[in-house]
């Protein structure tokens, strides 16, 4: 049965199952990046609202939500997933307007959110403890229990997908969550809370407080009533979150982006690789933690790959989210300035491919044409820094050893891929590449709801997605019973 149509008021917070204005009464404008207009006002939640949300989550743990069995939680999450699908068009439009992503990409994000709910709904009652052989006269076993209140601070690039992987797994394990969406894009977080509540999620199990990072976000990460924090966002803020978590001695999961390489060897199936090489760089206008911003190509196929990628870049069209082209605007004019700053650092480099911005794109929109640089030195700023825009660099290499050295030669380690038809090389590369996920002859593998995801180095630590996330969102208790 479908839930009633979306009825959200983004100038409110969603706390304890009810909409309410932030205690300060203040709001912030939410900007449409496709044209620079103000979409609506959103709540400027602050510490007092975070206090109320944490209290509501805590109350949920000792109420109906805390008493729900794993099977009941799973059934409810699966129902929420179906309710999300009832609203696929509305959610896709909200996300497209808010983030600026082309409608078809936003629609794919809705489907991913529903799939996360289905996956974690199905998994909720399948997380088992163990029995441990021990001393004579003892029975020892382990239980996986929720942390309690989980804080989720998420970015603007994939709100629905990140809610799915993080809040979905937390709720599956019986935690109660406080979600602080990004100030640039919070509409689908509010819509999701409404949908989940209407589908039967008890009051307080999920609370949403929009607001600024330095206010609502900082208050959530420093709150003594929060027992686990998951954060996806920039390296700088990730460090602050880890410091807050350290002060309160609570576990933290950080997913902080990357500079992910695809490594193309002479023996690769170039035609199979091409769509992945380009799409992994320009999807969501390159504003993807796992974007592949470095393409490493062996000398023997270098010219062929450069020519083919450049040709594809020439076909890319950038325009308003609702026009549903290849690439939308960046999330904000601030982000556009950041990306343009990087582009100006590439003035010494050769631009081999450039997409077009459609002529009727509104002048107030945050548009940046996709740009492909070639012959980039591995230590160039554009090959080292996370740009978070539709920019890729191509780097030549001679042999496997050099490929590994270049691929691993940044501070990040999130995702990598190897394109080769040689099985032994595939296995060697899979081991040698420094990344939380390595793809062989593909990149991204269909969204990967089931695949554990997370990084090393400045890409962060902890794993989300897949079954692994359920371990992260639970605590292991060991029970040793002496019975003689
Ligand atoms: P970006 O620079 O790409 O916007 P951020 O890391 O600044 O990425 O933002 C990711 C999330 O972190 C957003 O929800 C933002 O509001 C939040 N945030 C930003 N600053 C802080 C902070 N000091 N403490 C907690 N959360 C923050």
Question: Over 50: is that where the pLDDT of 467 sits?
Answer: yes
pLDDT band, residue 446 (cuts 50/70/90): low
Are 80 and 117 contacting, i.e. CB atoms less than 8 angstroms apart? yes
Q: Distance from the CA of 245 to the center of ligand 1, in angstroms?
A: 15
Q: Which of 28, 155, 231, 236 to mutate to test the pocket of ligand 1 (most atoms within 8 A of CB)?
A: 155
Q: Per-residue pLDDT averaged across 242-262, rounded?
A: 97
CA nearest to 316, candidates 289, 353, 346, 286: 353
CA nearest to 237, candidates 180, 280, 292: 180
Question: Atom of ligand 1 at shortest distance to CA of 236?
Answer: 6
Are 22 and 45 contacting, i.e. CB atoms less than 8 angstroms apart? yes
Q: Distance from the CA of 217 to the center of ligand 1, in angstroms?
A: 7
Return all residues near 81 (Cβ < 8 A) that are at least 6 apart. Answer: 113, 114, 115, 116, 117, 118, 121
Q: Per-residue pLDDT averaged across 398-416, rounded?
A: 98
CA nearest to 356, candidates 306, 312, 386, 294: 312
> 218 CB less than 6 Å from ligand 1?
yes
Q: Per-residue pLDDT averaged across 472-480, rounded?
A: 98
Examine the residue annotation and report whether 289 is marked as an active-site residue of this protein: yes
pLDDT attached to residue 190: 97
Question: Over 70: is that where the pLDDT of 28 sits?
Answer: yes
Ligand 1: which residue has its CA nearest to atom 17?
Answer: 213
Question: Atom of ligand 1 at shortest distance to CA of 234?
Answer: 6
pTM more than 0.85: yes
Q: Which residues of 345-376 are buried (b: 16+ CB within 10 A; e: fewer)?
A: ebeebebbbebbbeeebeeebbbbbbbbbbeb
Question: Over 50: is that where the pLDDT of 3 sits?
Answer: no
pLDDT digits (tens, 9 = 90+) for 194-231: 999 999 999 999 999 999 999 999 999 999 999 999 99
pLDDT attached to residue 7: 75
Q: Per-residue pLDDT averaged across 416-426, rounded?
A: 98
Given the residues 184, 194, 215, 255, the one annotated as active site: 255
Q: Distance from the CA of 192 to the center of ligand 1, in angstroms?
A: 20
In a 13 Å sphere around the CA of 454, the CA atoms on its Cβ side amount to 20
Q: Per-residue pLDDT averaged across 334-354, rounded?
A: 97
Chain centroid, CA 164 distance in Å? 9
pLDDT band, residue 8 (cuts 50/70/90): confident
pLDDT attached to residue 5: 52
Question: Atom of ligand 1 at shortest distance to CA of 221?
Answer: 25
Q: Distance from the CA of 184 to the center of ligand 1, in angstroms?
A: 10
Q: Considering all CA atoms of the chain, what is the largest pairwise distance in Å, rounded to the nearest integer? A: 82
Ligand 1: which residue has its CA nearest to atom 21?
Answer: 213
Q: Per-residue pLDDT averaged across 43-50, rounded?
A: 98
pLDDT band, residue 447 (cuts 50/70/90): confident
pLDDT attached to residue 4: 42
Q: Per-residue pLDDT averaged across 93-105, rounded?
A: 97
CA nearest to 311, candidates 354, 349, 265: 354
State the pairing for strand pair 149-153/228-232. Answer: parallel
pLDDT digits (tens, 9 = 90+) for 102-157: 999 999 999 999 999 999 999 999 999 999 999 999 999 999 999 999 999 999 99
Q: Distance from the CA of 24 to the center of ligand 1, in angstroms?
A: 21
Question: Over 80: is that where the pLDDT of 2 sits?
Answer: no
Are 416 and 456 contacting, i.e. CB atoms less than 8 angstroms apart? no
Phi, psi (deg, nearest 5) at residue 233: 170, -150
Q: Walk me through the domains of the chain, giving residue ranges and CATH numbers.
A: 5-256 (3.40.605.10), 261-448 (3.40.309.10)
Beta bridge partners of 146: 474
How many other CB atoms are found less than 10 A from the CB of residue 443? Answer: 23
Supply the mean pLDDT for the chain: 96
pLDDT band, residue 1 (cuts 50/70/90): very low
Are 388 and 233 contacting, i.e. CB atoms less than 8 angstroms apart? no
Query: Which residue has 């603007």 as its token pair?
Result: 156
Examine the residue annotation and report whether 186 is marked as an active-site residue of this protein: no
% the chain with pLDDT above 70:
99
């Amino acid at each position: 049965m479908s839930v009633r149509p979306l009825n959200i008021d983004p100038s409110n917070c969603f706390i304890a199952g009810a909409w309410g204005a932030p205690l300060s009464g203040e709001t912030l404008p939410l900007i449409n990046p496709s044209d620079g207009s103000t979409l609506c006002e959103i709540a400027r939640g602050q510490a007092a609202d975070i206090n109320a949300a944490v209290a509501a989550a805590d109350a949920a743990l000792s109420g109906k939500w805390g008493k729900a069995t794993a099977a009941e939680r799973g059934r409810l999450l699966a129902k929420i997933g179906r309710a999300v699908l009832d609203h696929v068009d509305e959610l896709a439009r909200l996300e497209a307007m808010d983030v600026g992503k082309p409608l078809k990409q936003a629609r794919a994000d809705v489907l991913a959110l529903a799939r996360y709910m289905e996956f974690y709904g199905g998994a909720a009652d399948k997380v088992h403890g163990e029995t441990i052989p021990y001393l004579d006269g003892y029975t020892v076993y382990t239980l996986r229990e929720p942390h309690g209140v989980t804080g989720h601070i998420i970015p603007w690039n994939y709100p629905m997908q990140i809610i799915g992987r993080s809040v979905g797994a937390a709720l599956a394990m019986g935690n109660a969550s406080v979600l602080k969406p990004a100030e640039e894009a919070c509409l689908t977080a509010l819509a999701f809370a409404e949908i989940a509540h209407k589908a039967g999620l008890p009051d307080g199990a999920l609370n949403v407080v929009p607001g600024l990072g330095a206010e609502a976000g900082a208050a959530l990460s420093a709150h003594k009533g929060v027992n686990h924090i998951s954060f996806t966002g920039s390296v700088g803020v990730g460090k602050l979150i880890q410091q807050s978590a350290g002060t309160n001695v609570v576990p933290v999961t950080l997913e902080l982006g990357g500079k992910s390489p695809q490594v193309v060897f002479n023996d690769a199936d170039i035609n199979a690789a091409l769509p992945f090489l380009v799409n992994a760089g320009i999807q969501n206008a390159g504003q993807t933690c796992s974007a592949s911003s470095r393409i490493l190509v062996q000398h023997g196929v270098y010219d062929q790959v450069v020519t083919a990628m450049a040709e594809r870049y020439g076909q890319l069209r950038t325009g308003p989210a609702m026009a549903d082209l290849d690439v939308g605007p960046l999330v904000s004019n601030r982000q556009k300035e950041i990306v343009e700053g990087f582009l100006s650092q590439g003035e010494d480099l050769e631009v081999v491919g450039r997409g077009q911005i459609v002529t009727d794109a509104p002048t107030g929109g945050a548009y940046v044409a996709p740009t492909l640089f070639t012959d980039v030195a591995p230590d160039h700023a554009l090959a080292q820094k996370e740009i978070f825009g539709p920019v890729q660099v191509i780097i030549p290499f001679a042999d496997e050893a050099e490929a590994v050295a270049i691929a691993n030669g940044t501070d990040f380690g999130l995702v990598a891929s190897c394109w080769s038809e040689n099985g032994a090389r595939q296995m060697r590369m899979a081991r040698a590449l420094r990344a939380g996920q390595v793809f062989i002859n593909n990149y991204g593998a269909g969204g990967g709801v089931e695949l554990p995801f997370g990084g090393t180095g400045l890409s962060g630590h902890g794993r989300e997605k897949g079954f692994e996330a359920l371990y992260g969102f639970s605590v292991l208790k060991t029970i040793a019973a002496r019975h003689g």
